[in-house]
Structure 1
Amino acid sequence: MEAGQPRHLVVVDDEVDILDVLEDALSLEGYRVTALRRGRDLLAMLPEEDIDLIILDLRLEQENGLRVAQQVREYSPIPIMMLTGKGDETDRILGLEVAADDFLMKPFNLRELIARVRALLRRSTQLSVTPRKVRDEVQEGLMFDGWQLNLTRRTLTNPRGGPVELTYGEFNLLTVLLQSPNRVLSRDFLLERTHGTETESFDRTIDVLILRLRRKLEENPKTPKYIKTERGIGYRFDAAVSRL
């Protein structure tokens, strides 16, 4: 996306009334909004369009919103906010484990939705940076036990030099953990640093993101070496961290 252009949001919901309300509200906030009723139309857009954030209904007519999110995630780490109904707690947990960055329950408050959109966009960076530009930038990063988290490129490399794909939520949480190694960080602190003070995210958000990170960092996620649980408090990153 070129400088000065509005952020492009795609909203997918099969309820026309909700789709119209979201399109109008987000357009008034200055975003470029594409409103779709089918997940497959979103998937068809991915190779052609620059998308900054997706708002996706979990319960689409004749489609599984979670599966659509998984397919998006296979293609790109675009931030995904999922809309869910009451009683969908199991699906919310599963969705956070595999695809989504945030959830909002219907019926929702428009001000709350807009605040969450801003928080997700604020913590995201464009992935369409050209190699030349990246080379010219000052590279900032953090390193532990041969792992390298490049804060400029927003990439993670394992000790063998291989790339490890992270979603926006995973990257943001790992960054916060690495910036305060060997300190116990509460769930509330981690939630505030990764999602902002403007939003009240789903209670299990941090726990599920920790689970996802353990699967990518730990040899045995059930007995983690790096991300330790401090019962009743939060988490601690147990490693020496240095700057690149």
Structure 2
Amino acid sequence: MHTKTHILVVDDDSEIRELLEEYLSKAGFQVSSVEDGEAMAEFLQQQGYPDLILLDVMLPGDDGFTLCQKVRRQSNVPIIMLTAVSDETDQIIGLEIGADDYIAKPFSPRQLIARIKALLRRMHVQEDEAGASPSLSRNIVFGDWRLDTLSLRATHSDTHEIIELSGSDFALLMLFLSHPNEILDRDTISIATRGREALPMERGIDVQLSRLRQRLGDKGNRYIKTMRGNGYMFTASVTYER
């Protein structure tokens, strides 16, 4: 029997929660909602992680950024941050700490549902291809790292440090690993990681790239080279292992 995709809405505005429950239920999703971080923690403890979380930035108690960081320590569940319409800082911070996408308030139901479906499609494709990356590899070795494509964890060969990648980090890294020594422009990166072309003056891609470089300790850009005016190139050696 087909199980509905379960979405958890975290927003302290009861009217917004009710509207989102109505919109998303009509779109075929199973929806739960809570008003703050404390209620969210209780829900996760009792029900486990949903298929996707819609997380408002402005919350009483722990804000959305803090909650996103807490979730990322435990799970790679897709997270869409709900941000103020004109506050680019919120959007950038959300991406930096591991959110997969953001949508600015106010938003139309059609826009929200389209973004949710696009993110879920990307996550589904990643799961389907996790063990079927080039050469049907479970593990991919690049530079000083070994990536386990099933657990979304990378292990450093010398220090044995383990990093857990969010869905968007994994999508970006897999894009580079699948196209080593190729120049990828911003639109290609945005479509692969966010399901749409890059918007003019959008900084989200820069944030994603910066975060991935930081997580990989790529301070000298040994892995990801900036090709000015053209895009980016992954230059580390890549080996696929079954």
Q: Structure 1 length as normaliser, TM-score?
A: 0.84
- Distance in 2 (alpha carbons) for counterparts of 1:200 and 1:27: 30
The alignment of Structure 1 onto Structure 2 pairs a total of residues equal to 231
Give me the identity figure in percent: 40
Q: Which residue of 1 aligns with 2:23?
A: 25
1:155·1:164 contact (CA, 8 Å) conserved in 2?
yes
Q: Which residue of 2 aligns with 1:133?
A: none
1:187·1:206 contact (CA, 8 Å) conserved in 2?
yes
Q: Which residue of 2 aligns with 1:91?
A: 90
2:227 to 222, 227, 230: 230
Q: Deviations over 1:172-202 (max 9, x none)?
A: 0000011111111111110001121499799
RMSD of aligned residue pairs (Cα, Å): 2.6
Q: Which residue of 1 aligns with 2:152?
A: 154
Deviation at 1:212, TM superposition (A): 1.1
- Distance in 2 (alpha carbons) for counterparts of 1:78 and 1:39: 16
- Distance in 1 (alpha carbons) for counterparts of 2:60 and 2:193: 32
- Distance in 1 (alpha carbons) for counterparts of 2:206 and 2:198: 17
2:187·2:198 contact (CA, 8 Å) conserved in 1?
no
Q: Deviations over 1:162-181 (max 9, x none)?
A: 53210111000000011111
Q: Which runs of 5+ in 2 are unaligned?
A: 126-135
Distance 1:198 1:22, change over 3 A: farther
- Counterparts of 1:130-149 in structure 2 under 5 Å? 139-149=137-147
Q: Secondary structure at the match of 1:50?
A: coil
Out of 166-175 and 97-106, give the one that drifted further: 97-106
Distance 1:87 1:175, change over 3 A: same
2:154·2:164 contact (CA, 8 Å) conserved in 1?
yes
Q: Which residue of 1 aligns with 2:214?
A: 215
Q: Structure 2 length as normaliser, TM-score?
A: 0.85
Out of 191-200 and 232-241, give the one that drifted further: 191-200
2:183·2:232 contact (CA, 8 Å) conserved in 1?
yes
- Distance in 2 (alpha carbons) for counterparts of 1:16 and 1:87: 22
Q: Secondary structure at the match of 2:237?
A: coil
Q: Which residue of 1 aligns with 2:121?
A: 122
Q: Which residue of 2 aligns with 1:66?
A: 65
